[in-house]
Amino acid sequence: MRDASRQVAAWVAAALLCLSAIGPAIGAASGPGSGDERAFAVDGGVAAQQQVPAFQSAVDPDVVLLRADVGEDGTAQWTVAFRVRLTDENETAAFESVQADVEENATAFTSQFATGMERTVASAENRTGREMALENVTVTATTEQLPQEYGVLTYRFRWTNFAAADGDRLRIGDSLSGFFLDGESSLTLAWPEEYERQSVTPQPDESGETTVTWRGPADFGPDEPRVVAAPAGGLSTTLLAVAAFLLVALAAGGWLYRSRSGGEDADERRSGGAAAGGAATGSAAADGATDAADTDTAPDEPPEELLSNEERVLRLLEENGGRVKQQRIAGELDWTDAKTSQVVGNLREDDAVETFRIGRENVVTLPEESDL
């Protein structure tokens, strides 16, 4: 059975080397040393001179999966999984030893890992200007069938303000500018389910509804990786412009059609109303006005939605021979009786209309029609 402390150092050094590959002061060096040691220089000395035994090859990860699940506030839940293929009894025994160490003293793993990651987070904080913190570092060791049997050492931690929450948008990736992935590693950035991707650079190797993944080897540029996500359902500026144009075109077409048909109907109403007006007096004239046609506008008149309440009443009077029952005004304009009375009262105060009663009903007239 191998020495447990040296296995811990091997795993922690591998983890820090992978995750601390941010910025120029990062590297890894190997040499014969005393014959069974390997020295790592991570982030300018975070994990420098970690003593790693020659048998590290037995527990070196075959696959490293890095994933950051970013929340609406920009804080990310990170998962870093190191998978080791267990192909023989020696590899299985080595990983079982690591499992036992994790169960007995997980702090031996998480404390060194957290020390290195805190330096990485501090470096990203200085670069982005956002206050950040590393929280809740945990580690687990399990075996999985994928379909081959793998030993999986998984670190999880919380990185506050990992991404920039810009209004209702998430801008993800500036904390990882210049990140490097070797041939065994992959990086996945994920955003909330209610968000959708707006842009991503560089082109990912794999895309999902709420994720993008890059597989190594990959050497990101100084402004990479970058992902912008926003709440789903929002339209881009181009789509909004197209939609606005279509709405205006439809509204103009509908108004033109109504104007043409309204002009013909108005001509018929005027000729019919003139004949009826010459023959009707008193109550008969008021009833004739009540039965007049609808309120479509003439081609040279503005749309009804642009008129004030008082102008709508005056237009209705003009279209009905200058005389309409107040109850009909309420029905035609879909107003309450109280609102109708208020608008008519305002017009009467301005001498724009006059009113009189026929039975129990008020009749509203234009001043020039009040002598009929």
The confidence score (pLDDT) of residue 189 equals 97
- The whole-number pLDDT of residue 248 equals 62
Domain boundary among 233, 262, 290: 233
Looking at the structure, tell me whether residues 134 and 251 fall in a common domain: no
Within 8 A by CB and 6+ apart from 337, the residues are: 327, 330
H, E, C per residue of 240-254: HHHHHHHHHHHHHHH
For 211-322, strand residue ranges (E) read 211-215, 218-219, 226-231
pLDDT at 256: 60
Listed residue (347, 351, 276, 338) closest to 315, CA to CA: 347
Task: Please indicate, yes or no, whether residues 263 and 188 belong to a single structural domain of this protein.
Answer: no
Report, as an integer, the average pLDDT of 312-337: 89
- Would you state the pLDDT for residue 185? 92
The answer on 153 and 98 residing in a single domain is yes
Same domain, 259 and 228: no
Judge if 125 and 206 occupy the same domain.
Answer: yes
Residue 193 has pLDDT above 90, yes or no: yes
Mean pLDDT throughout 190-196? Answer: 95
- Do 78 and 219 lie in one domain? The reply is yes
Residue 321: band (very low, low, confident or very high) from pLDDT cuts 50, 70, 90? confident
Closest CA to 116 of 27, 23, 10, 45: 45
Cβ pair 178, 221 in contact under 8 A: yes
Domain span including residue 89: 61-233
| pLDDT confidence tier of residue 62, bands split at 50, 70 and 90 | confident
Q: Which of 233, 254, 273 delimits the end of a domain?
A: 233
156 and 272, same domain (yes or no): no
19 domain-assigned: no
A 10 A CB-CB count for 120 gives 24
Whether the per-residue pLDDT at 234 is higher than 60: the answer is no
Same domain, 134 and 149: yes
The total number of structural domains in the chain stands at 2
Residue 219 in domain: yes
Indicate if 264 and 222 belong to the same structural domain. no
pLDDT in tens, 293-316: 444 444 566 777 778 899 999 998
Render pLDDT for 236-245 as a digit per residue (tens, 0 to 9).
444 455 555 6
Is residue 307 in a domain?
yes
**What is the pLDDT, as a whole number, of residue 268?**
55
Which of 233, 267, 293 is the last residue before a domain boundary? 233
pLDDT score at 251 = 64
**pLDDT tens digits for range 82-96:** 999 999 998 899 899
Q: Are residues 155 and 288 in the same domain?
A: no
Same domain, 191 and 315: no
Neighbours of 252 (CB within 10 A): 10
Q: Is residue 229 domain-shared with residue 247, that is, in the same domain?
A: no
